[in-house]
Chains A and B, each alone.
Chain A
């Protein structure tokens, strides 16, 4: 079955420190890959996506993610975290063959930033 796993439910980092949020997927073929951020009580904002090509993807707000086919992973990184990055982060996948464009979301990782 298709699934997305975010192994870390909660991560705390100090402001200015680097960040890596993990995402692993289980899929029949390489899916489309996404990272979204959700601030408390808000909808989701797309940070970045991977469809094909360069496996290192740059996104908004200084985030990047790297697709590693051998590890079925799409980890999100940021070299220096700001307090405003505190939020919930969701990894999601979509089937290349899908006509509906459905997304499957991971469980989410809550990021807390210490001053």
Chain B
């Protein structure tokens, strides 16, 4: 089946530094990628939607200059948390739309636990 590989699975960084999270579709082309943020014991909140070769569409309240999303190829999308602060600590998950499975045919990455100290 369609697999999305998300790396790293966890990362600890110092406040003020930037962190890049990668999501790769291993056996399919991901024309659309969704990025979610999940706080402990809470739901997934959509941050942005990215389409290959286009600028990402950010949800209301999400700082696009802080959370940089790049979807330069059909198999790779990245989320960079710039100038990270402790309040950015969270679980970040990507989800890729699988061609041929309809608008809601997704496969999710395994998530990245970001801790900013």
Contact = CB atoms under 8 A, between A and B. Distances in A.
Given A98-B103, A101-B97, A41 B42 contact: no
Contacts of A106: 43
Which secondary structure dominates chain B's binding surface?
Answer: strand
Interface in A7-57: 9, 32, 34, 36, 41-46, 49
B108 A43 contact: yes
Nearest to A44: B108
Which secondary structure dominates chain A's binding surface?
Answer: loop
B30 to A, nearest CB: 13
Contacts of A49: 104
B78 interface: no
Chain B residues touching A, range: 20 to 34
Given A41-B9, A44-B93, A110-B41, A102 B111 contact: no
B43 A43 contact: no
A90 B95 CA distance: 15
Interface of B: 4, 6, 9, 32, 34, 41-46, 49, 57, 91, 93, 95, 97, 103-104, 106, 108-111, 113
The 9 closest A-B pairs by CB, nearest first: A43-B108, A101-B103, A44-B108, A105-B43, A43-B110, A105-B44, A107-B43, A94-B104, A43-B109
